[in-house]
Amino acid sequence: MITIDDIFETNRMITENKLDVRTITMGISLRDCAHPNITKFCQNIYDKITKSAEFLVKTGEDIEAEYGIPIIHKRISVTPIAIAADACETDTYVPVAEALDRAGKEVGVNFIGGFSALVEKGYTKGDRTLIQSIPQALATTDIVCSSVNLGSTKAGINMDCVREMGEVIKRTAELTREQEALGCAKLVVFCNAPGDNPFMAGAFHGVSEGDKVVSVGVSGPGVVKHALEGMKGADFTEVAETIKKTAFKITRVGQMVAREASKRLGVPFGIIDLSLAPTPAVGDSVARILEEMGLEACGAPGTTAALAMLNDAVKKGGLMASSHVGGLSGAFIPVSEDEGMIHAVSQGSLSIEKLEAMTCVCSVGLDMIAIEGDTTAATISGIIADEAAIGMINNKTTAVRVIPVPGKKVGDTVEFGGLLGYCPIVPVRNQYSSAAFIARGGRIPAPVRSLTN
């Protein structure tokens, strides 16, 4: 029997601690849309997306109202366009991005992801066309997100692509300089990218997925922080137990929303991504959880250990709450999207090197970090190579989403708006060049731990 206290506790989690479901993401395969004529291809994908996701937003809003749980975003992910459009006889996929943008806006979603290429081992013609189209595509569209997977534990790291992506990020920043290089906030570079991630900017509908699928990404840093506020001085066994119990509740809500959305849309349930996804709002921060554990400021020695424990406890608690767990599943540390991280960078307690260490033990990577606009492409490539190496060796997903904002220097702040937040320019140790290292190209061979058979 549910008690009056249980009911008020749940509603307090929602109203005061900002428990929400971050996203319902519908994955849609575009493999059946291939056509040599790009105009016909664009029509095919527009038709398939608008037909498949016609009721996605309405369904999300209905569930939100009936259960009283906020569902912040409704999103779509599609088959990586480099695969779906490989047959097109064209030298640019910008019209494809525009078709995705139109289709996403038609059905009213917040983002559509999948302007993507998977090139950890090599390029096809479609992969090359896609990567070259990214800057223009992100400059001319609003809700399209792009990702490139350039490394994996199984295949190693494609260093040609590492070099190219440094340049692509710079060009994207240049083409969207009027909007503080916003294009780069919609572009992420991965190692070990999962094909069932519902979170942006890295969502795409993996090639091993079914025709359509519904996945849910949960949130809830505020709820975890609140639970820990009552645990002052408790030892880590107790802290971990509390996080597990809280993560269980958060994930159960996500599972319920996913099951209901799947039933109402007539689309199979994919996975729950049990990530702690922060927002720039006060009280919704992963950094503040780490500080609640006893660190004076996020970035102080001990931060990596605190994050490792948090990340692991969230997974343990969430696992039992969902029938299928997947995606990125861990704690996110996007700097501009987390009020506590922004504060930590502003006061100088958190550096990019500490963030890199933190990415070894949490779900993704160097995320939403604004850097000086004159950072060279080779330095950005060096950052990408380091992150990809962490992912490759540790058999985990890592990513880089840095934003070299033209004209901005350390001491300036950039504003991206909405969930993307704002960020002081983070200093990068770039007085020493990575150019000769990045210019080598080729492939870093797969590590010995890839040989598991």
**From CA 60, how far away is CA 65, in angstroms rounded?**
9
Residue 316 lies near other proteins (rule: CB under 8 A):
no
Q: Which of 44, 255, 375, 376 binds other proteins (CB under 8 A)?
A: 255
The CA R_g of the chain, rounded to the nearest whole Å, is 21
Q: Which of 252, 264, 354, 443 binds other proteins (CB under 8 A)?
A: 252
Residue 420: closest CA among 348, 369, 358, 365: 369
Structure tokens at 428: 């990068």
Site string for other proteins, 66-85 (x = CB under 8 A): xxxx----------------
Size of the site for other proteins (CB under 8 A): 21
Q: C-beta of 328: minimal distance to other proteins in Å?
A: 22
What is the pairing mode between strands 187-191 and 144-152? parallel
Residue 264 lies near other proteins (rule: CB under 8 A):
no
Residue 442 lies near other proteins (rule: CB under 8 A):
no
Q: Find the part of the chain contacting other proteins (CB under 8 A) among 2-10, 107-115, 181-189, 417-425.
A: 2-10
Q: C-beta of 316: minimal distance to other proteins in Å?
A: 15
Q: Which of residues 330-349 bind other proteins (CB under 8 A)?
A: none
Residue 253 lies near other proteins (rule: CB under 8 A):
yes
Largest Cα–Cα separation, the chain: 67
Q: Which of 36, 39, 65, 238 binds other proteins (CB under 8 A)?
A: 65
Q: C-beta of 243: minimal distance to other proteins in Å?
A: 16
Q: C-beta of 221: minimal distance to other proteins in Å?
A: 17
Q: Which of 8, 210, 234, 294 binds other proteins (CB under 8 A)?
A: 8
Residue 241 lies near other proteins (rule: CB under 8 A):
no
Write the DSSP string, 160-195.
HHHHHHHHHHHHHHHHTGGGTTGGGGGEEEEES--T
Site string for other proteins, 12-51 (x = CB under 8 A): -x--------------------------------------
DSSP bridge pairs for 442: none
What is the pairing mode between strands 71-78 and 269-273? unpaired
Q: Give me the sign of the Cα torsion angle 30, 216, 403, 401.
A: negative
Cα–Cα separations (whole angstroms), residue 53 to 57, 75, 150, 178, 273: 8, 9, 30, 32, 20
Q: C-beta of 9: minimal distance to other proteins in Å?
A: 8
Structure tokens at 50: 């608008």
Q: Which of 34, 256, 305, 389 binds other proteins (CB under 8 A)?
A: 256
Q: Find the part of the chain contacting other proteins (CB under 8 A) among 4-12, 108-116, 151-159, 343-351.
A: 4-12
Backbone angles phi, psi at 308, to 5 degrees: -60, -45
- Residue pointed to by tokens 């990809």: 388
Cβ-Cβ contacts under 8 Å for 228 (sequence gap 6 or more):
239, 242, 243, 289, 292, 293
Q: Find the part of the chain contacting other proteins (CB under 8 A) among 9-17, 119-127, 286-294, 361-369.
A: 9-17
Q: Which of 10, 50, 110, 413 binds other proteins (CB under 8 A)?
A: 10
Residue 88: closest CA among 50, 33, 164: 33
Are 25 and 215 in contact, with CB atoms under 8 Å apart?
Answer: yes
**For binding to other proteins (CB under 8 A), which residues are involved?**
2-4, 6-11, 13, 62, 65-69, 249, 252-253, 255-256
